[in-house]
Chains A and B, each alone.
Chain A
Amino acid sequence: MDCCFMQALLFLWNRYNRVPKMKTMINIHQEIDALLQGTEKRFAYMDHAATTYTDSRVVEAMMPYFEKKFGNPGGFYDLGKVAKDAVEGAREVVAGVLNCSADEVIFTSGGTESDNLAIFGVARRYADRGKHIITSVIEHHAVEAPCKQLQKEGFDVTFLSVDEHGRVNPDDVKAALRDDTILVSVMMANNEIGTLQPIAEIGEILKDHKAFFHTDACQAAGALSLDVDKLGVDLMTINGSKIYGPKGVGALYRRKGLRLKPMMYGGFQERGIRPGTENVPGIIGFAKALEIADSGRGAEAERLTELRDYMIDEIQKAIPKTKLNGHATDRLPNNVNITFMDIEGESLLLFLNELGIYAATGSACSSESLDPSHVIVATGVPYECAHGSIRFSLGRKTTREDVDYVLDVLPKIVEILRKISPLNMDPNTLESNLQS
């Protein structure tokens, strides 16, 4: 009898002790269903750094050049002249924004082509002056890959490292300069973590050196002044698809006197530097988009900066164990890039996608190469910080309500994925341990 009683007590004791444990075992399916089915979904596009929709004013400006004013600008008749005048008008508009003269603007097929043309164009034209190029470890692949190709072709390339915020130190540029340096290429603002680079300072250093200075300003257009003289750059890449313009069109600014070796040969368009019949509607649309973006720059940058800081603050308040990637203030007005420790970015994106939110990650899992973001890794954090990073890039139509919607669902998603993950990163040392 006693024994029986003891056993019953033991049973109850065990059960009692299990209660807290059972309580933590809330059904994860219910939790996920509550989030996915119980949320009133909203369309929240937050990947403007990848590409933007085309502004309706831009589309309107382009329309006549498809069906009516379709002539080849090289045609010797009125229809050709109409197209030619439109292209030259667009060139004037771009030149106005860049504070350069129209003949310094070369229209291209976009950022990648402009970067390639700048780098290969200088390297191949001026190889007799030297074969040294300076760039940084956080450049876009469209700069990084041409530089790596040039290494294979016998050029010496210095890849400058960055600080914890992803910033190039102008003193490092100065120290890396050599007599045989022919080109320095540093982006104006980073596409992943939004860090603004000290372009004007580097330009100042390069004033006394023969090396040409190229900057990729694809992300900066519409956010920062693109005055090429104030920045001290000789070459600048800009494109349409990030500034509410059409895709597949961009420009390269090339300072007068700088000679580029073309990458393609053909007709005399774009002074023979970039032959091929002009993409007339694209060029018209691109110029219009740049004009709109630049004229509204101050007010829009201010609005976005406020929204950006609100989003960053609220995410960090609501979710434990996060890390802001990039610089707190010297960053693009629309860039929010945050690492959520212990989870992987692609799985987070899939939840966001399910809820109508479109963002990007630096995780290897979403890249074709299976390498995590080289930019986030370059800031000196472990690979898993890159795997767990999400970039929200805000835009012209992003509202406070959109941000609030993300702020509502994001903590729940992170909590779910952390329940699935075995990791437990130390937020101070960023060392990953397994839960124990």
Chain B
Amino acid sequence: MSLPMASNSGTGWMYTDLVKDHFFRPRNLLQSLPEDNDFDGYGEVGSPACGDVMRVWIKISDDGKKITDCKWQTFGCASAIAATSMMSTIVLENGGMPIDEAMEITPQMITKRLGGLPNRKIHCSVLGDQALKKAIEDYKSRK
């Protein structure tokens, strides 16, 4: 009998090269706190006690359709930082993602793009999509 094996074993603590790349070269990191009107939407998720906190800031195109900028900050382990970085990368590629598509981003999509994460990390460290959704909702409520 052959046992089912995932492409990424999911058991060890080891990260893929892509996870390490996003951890050691975080993309789109917010580097200083913005003024109120620098961004169109803001969202945060997680709690310090649980060990993960993400904040996401977004800018929306003038026609209100696309995300044109996405910045973030993350408190958490390497996979939390890498996952938020990858989330911002997905949102900004190809000239920016339409906001209704961005609402559909899932932790699975982010994990897949990272080439997999250890199983026990997925639940707690891939929260960026939730912060993004909150930022989009914040943008909509500001309109």
Binding site for B on A (CB under 8 A): 21, 24-26, 28-29, 32, 36, 342-344, 346-347, 350, 354, 363-366, 368, 370, 372, 382-384, 387, 419-423, 425, 432, 434-436
Contact = CB atoms under 8 A, between A and B. Distances in A.
Contacts of B76: 344, 347, 365
Contacts of B24: 32, 36, 354
Interface of B: 13, 15, 20, 23-26, 29, 31-33, 44, 48-55, 73-81, 120-121, 124-125
A285 to B, nearest CB: 29
B15 to A, nearest CB: 8
Contacts of A26: 31
Contact of B51 (A25, A32, A365, A436): A365
B92 to A, nearest CB: 16
Contact of B49 (A343, A354, A383): A383
B48 A370 contact: no
Nearest to A377: B49
Contacts of B26: 28, 420
Nearest to A345: B77
A1 to B, nearest CB: 30
27 contacts: A24-B31, A26-B31, A28-B26, A346-B78, A347-B76, A347-B80, A354-B24, A365-B51, A365-B80, A365-B124, A368-B120, A370-B120, A370-B124, A383-B50, A384-B51, A387-B48, A387-B51, A420-B74, A420-B81, A421-B53, A421-B74, A422-B44, A422-B53, A422-B73, A423-B53, A425-B48, A434-B44
A419 B20 CA distance: 18
List 6 A-B pairs, minimum CB-CB distance, nearest first: A365-B77, A422-B73, A432-B48, A346-B77, A383-B49, A384-B48
Contacts of B78: 346-347, 350
B75 A421 contact: yes
B49 A422 contact: no
A387 B80 CA distance: 13
B73 A383 contact: no
